[in-house]
């Protein structure tokens, strides 16, 4: 074994440029594969994190602006959801599909005032069901409860971003002023980059009593049941929104009269995108690996040609074909393994750099703001498996040159120049 290692080392040392070029091809291949897989995982995690913030089988509905004339009205009419829409949602017509329903008032935008400090925010009136549908996570205190609604209490739930903007102190139990009214802080929720995660929430009935005493509703959030695939989800969405449009004398086929955010459809599209991204990254990475393996095979063929005379001498003094075969394969595996693990280490380091840089950036999707990447890393098991695959491929790449070297006849090899 020691003699074999010495022979490999002498071969590498005597052919530094050839070894360096081969090693670069191998390292570059595994480096790109790890980077591509890491970037793919980061993008997938970012979109998955966005979909995980809501109940999958849920949707949010808002009034829109008509784009088609209907019922004697011209296009361009603003639709405001109202109590009638809420009754339709909770009525018998959709009782087989509609689960939990949470009406949300229109928002009030103003300053939250605490002492001498003021923070600009929006305030909405919600019901207790809103927390479960939107997967709101409490950091401190509690959310709106039924008694708050019944007694129209002047209480408010703020976010961790509000606490930070007010200087980082504990706001729980403090009285805070907005729009001339004082509200007691009963809870602090975990905020994120989404606009609604940094809103202030007060009881639905309190908001209606103070700011919006009419029938209008800003948003209806709901969960739905009995939906098993994307087709059924789209059919339910179409049937439900058509009924709301009819209620407002808008054309049922008008795509802009009612705006819908169907989280089930979004999640299905994200899942499909995740599969395509993952497949695409693996294909690109493996093609890059193939180029590295081809490089190893070509370099080993050149090595065999250059050392034909040496192999002839070895066979003339008694070296068996198995010895020649093992020497070439061992050299191929050694180069592939060393530079493969070097490329793996650099690739994982690059993924960590991506996480520290691109992982902190966000992009606006219109309906949501998400990170560009979230944990763009590759598991150590995947990295090792990919590198072992490269080593196996490197071994196979060395077989043809090794077999050619083992078949060299001593007399022909000794005549070779």
Q: What is the pLDDT of residues 344-384, one digit of tens each?
A: 888 888 888 888 877 666 655 554 556 666 777 777 777 77
- 381: number of Cβ within 10 Å: 8
**pLDDT, tens digit, 9 for 90 and up, residues 183-231:** 999 999 988 655 555 689 999 999 999 998 889 999 999 999 888 888 8
Residue 133's alpha-carbon distances to 32, 221, 224, 305, 329, in angstroms, are 41, 7, 11, 70, 60
- 278 and 254 both lie in a single domain: no
- 158 and 280 both lie in a single domain: no
**pLDDT, tens digit, 9 for 90 and up, residues 314-334:** 767 776 777 777 777 777 777
Burial of 377: CB neighbours in 10 Å, binned 0-12, 13-18, 19+: buried
pLDDT band at residue 284 using 50, 70 and 90 as cut-offs: confident
Question: Which percentage of the chain shows pLDDT scores above 70?
Answer: 78
pLDDT band at residue 254 using 50, 70 and 90 as cut-offs: very high
Q: Using CA atoms, how far apart are residues 112 and 108, in angstroms rounded to an integer?
A: 11
The per-residue pLDDT for 415 is: 58
- 111 and 174 both lie in a single domain: yes
Residue at which a domain ends, from 208, 236, 264: 264
Residue at which a domain ends, from 248, 264, 280: 264
The per-residue pLDDT for 243 is: 95
The per-residue pLDDT for 306 is: 67
- 273 and 244 both lie in a single domain: no
- 275 and 323 both lie in a single domain: yes
- 285 and 176 both lie in a single domain: no
Q: Is the pLDDT of residue 7 over 70?
A: no
Number of domains within the chain: 2
- 18 and 121 both lie in a single domain: no
- 255 and 322 both lie in a single domain: no
- 176 and 307 both lie in a single domain: no
The per-residue pLDDT for 237 is: 93
- 46 and 63 both lie in a single domain: no
Residue at which a domain ends, from 264, 285, 306: 264
- 109 and 19 both lie in a single domain: no
Q: Which domain holds residue 247?
A: 58-264
- 123: number of Cβ within 10 Å: 22
pLDDT band at residue 417 using 50, 70 and 90 as cut-offs: low
- 41 and 89 both lie in a single domain: no
């Amino acid at each position: 074994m020691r003699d074999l290692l010495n022979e490999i080392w002498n071969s590498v040392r005597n052919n530094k440029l050839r070894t360096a070029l081969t090693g670069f091809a191998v390292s570059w291949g595994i480096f790109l594969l790890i980077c591509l897989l890491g970037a793919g995982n980061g993008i997938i995690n970012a979109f998955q994190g966005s979909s995980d913030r809501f109940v999958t089988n849920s949707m949010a509905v808002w009034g829109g602006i008509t784009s088609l004339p209907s019922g004697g009205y011209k296009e361009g009419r603003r639709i405001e959801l109202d109590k009638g829409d809420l009754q339709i949602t909770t009525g018998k017509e959709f009782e087989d599909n509609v689960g939990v329903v949470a009406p949300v008032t229109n928002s009030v935008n103003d300053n939250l005032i605490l002492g001498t400090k003021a923070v600009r925010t929006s305030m909405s009136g919600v019901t207790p069901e809103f927390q479960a549908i939107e997967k709101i996570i409490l950091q401190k205190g509690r959310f709106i409860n039924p008694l708050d609604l019944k007694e129209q209490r002047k209480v408010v739930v703020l976010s961790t971003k509000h606490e930070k903007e007010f200087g980082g102190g504990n706001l729980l139990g403090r009285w805070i002023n907005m729009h001339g009214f004082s509200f007691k802080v009963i809870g602090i929720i975990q905020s994120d980059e989404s606009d609604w995660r940094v809103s202030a929430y007060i009881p639905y009935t309190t908001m209606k009593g103070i700011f919006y005493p009419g029938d209008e509703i800003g948003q209806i959030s709901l969960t739905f049941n009995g939906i098993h695939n994307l087709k059924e989800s789209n059919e339910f969405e179409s049937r439900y929104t058509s009924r709301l449009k009819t209620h407002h004398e808008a054309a049922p086929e008008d795509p802009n009269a009612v705006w819908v955010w169907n989280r089930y459809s979004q999640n299905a599209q994200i899942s499909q995108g995740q599969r395509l991204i993952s497949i695409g990254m693996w294909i690109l990475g493996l093609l890059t690996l193939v180029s590295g393996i081809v490089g190893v095979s070509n370099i080993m063929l050149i090595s065999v040609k250059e050392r034909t005379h040496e192999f002839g001498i070895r066979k003339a003094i008694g070296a068996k074909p198995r010895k020649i075969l093992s020497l070439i394969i061992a050299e191929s595996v050694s180069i592939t393994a060393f530079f493969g693990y070097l490329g793996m280490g650099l690739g994982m380091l690059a993924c960590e750099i991506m996480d520290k840089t691109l992982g902190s950036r966000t992009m606006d999707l219109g309906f949501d703001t998400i990170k560009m990447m979230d944990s763009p890393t590759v598991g150590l098991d995947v990295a090792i498996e990919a590198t072992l695959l490269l080593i196996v491929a490197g071994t196979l790449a060395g077989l043809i040159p090794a077999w050619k070297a083992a078949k060299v006849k001593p007399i022909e090899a000794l005549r070779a120049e």
